[in-house]
Chains A and B, each alone.
Chain A
Amino acid sequence: NAGVTQTPKFRVLKTGQSMTLLCAQDMNHEYMYWYRQDPGMGLRLIHYSVGEGTTAKGEVPDGYNVSRLKKQNFLLGLESAAPSQTSVYFCASSYSRSQRRVPDTQYFGPGTRLTVL
């Protein structure tokens, strides 16, 4: 099992450019999440998905869009990148409560370091 994988690992964008970050998991998890990690801010939830075809906003959703067309994939899009979006982005996945009787943990990918100039 690869667990949670993220592509790309690094990316540099110019202000106004767009890009898509891909997250894939092979654990049959229902839930998937996108976080950003900034110094002194910890991890902040951008968007999440509780199943294929469904997405919801997290704590800091502005400037980002997501799609969950397949259960194993969760895409994060930046339509017009801004320097404030320079960050490390982590994807995570977990079972849903219907899949397991007790709350489960989130499994994180290795991260994507994005720099917006």
Chain B
Amino acid sequence: QQQVKQSPQSLIVQKGGISIINCAYENTAFDYFPWYQQFPGKGPALLIAIRPDVSEKKEGRFTISFNKSAKQFSLHIMDSQPGDSATYFCAAIEFTGNQFYFGTGTSLTVIP
């Protein structure tokens, strides 16, 4: 059973547009929700993360929106650039129980 469901599987956005990737989870014990960015041939790298006591976190062009009641969180990339073209993974972590789950990934292509 997929602990974290991520959508869409792939996304094509024009340069300057907004990219939105969504994730949903079931386990309310998760206490940390990071997003990772992965370029081909590289390992994932942390992009931005949020804790469930916060509804939104913004770092530059990247924003996480978190809806605790709906058990959903999303990544928004504003003013998307070709250099943002990569695979993005959401994750849900419960530190007490050492539970680490990743979504299935979204391949983002930003067209110049």
Q: Which A residues are within 8 Å of any B CB, using their own CB?
A: 4, 33, 35, 40-45, 48, 50, 56, 58-59, 90, 92, 97, 103, 105-111
For B49, the chain A residues whose CB sits under 8 A away are: 105
Q: Does B12 contact A (CB under 8 A)?
A: no
Which of B39-61 touch A at CB < 8 Å? 41-46, 49, 51
User: Could you list 15 further interchain pairs (A-B, Cβ under 8 angstroms) beyond the known A43-B102, A110-B41?
Assistant: A33-B100, A40-B9, A41-B104, A45-B100, A50-B98, A56-B98, A59-B101, A92-B43, A97-B95, A103-B93, A103-B95, A106-B100, A108-B44, A109-B43, A111-B42
In the complex, are the beta carbons of A103 and B51 less than 8 A apart? Answer: yes
For B73, the chain A residues whose CB sits under 8 A away are: none
A16 to B29, CA, bound (A): 40
For A50, the chain B residues whose CB sits under 8 A away are: 98
Closest to A108 in B: B43
In the complex, are the beta carbons of A42 and B105 less than 8 A apart? Answer: yes
- Shortest Cβ distance from A5 into chain B, in angstroms? 11
In the complex, are the beta carbons of B34 and A105 less than 8 A apart? Answer: yes
Instruction: Count B-side interface residues using an 8 Å CB cutoff.
Output: 25
Which of B1-35 touch A at CB < 8 Å? 6, 9, 31-32, 34
In the complex, are the beta carbons of A103 and B31 less than 8 A apart? Answer: yes
In the complex, are the beta carbons of B105 and A108 less than 8 A apart? Answer: no
Q: Does B66 contact A (CB under 8 A)?
A: no
For A42, the chain B residues whose CB sits under 8 A away are: 6, 89, 102-105
Q: 9 closest A-B pairs (Cβ-Cβ)?
A: A108-B43, A43-B102, A42-B104, A105-B46, A103-B32, A42-B102, A108-B44, A45-B100, A110-B43
- Interface code B70-112, partner A: CB below 8 Å = 1, 0 otherwise? 0000000000000000000101010100101111110000000
- Shortest Cβ distance from B55 into chain A, in angstroms? 18
Interface centre among A4, A43, A111 (most CB of B within 10 A): A43
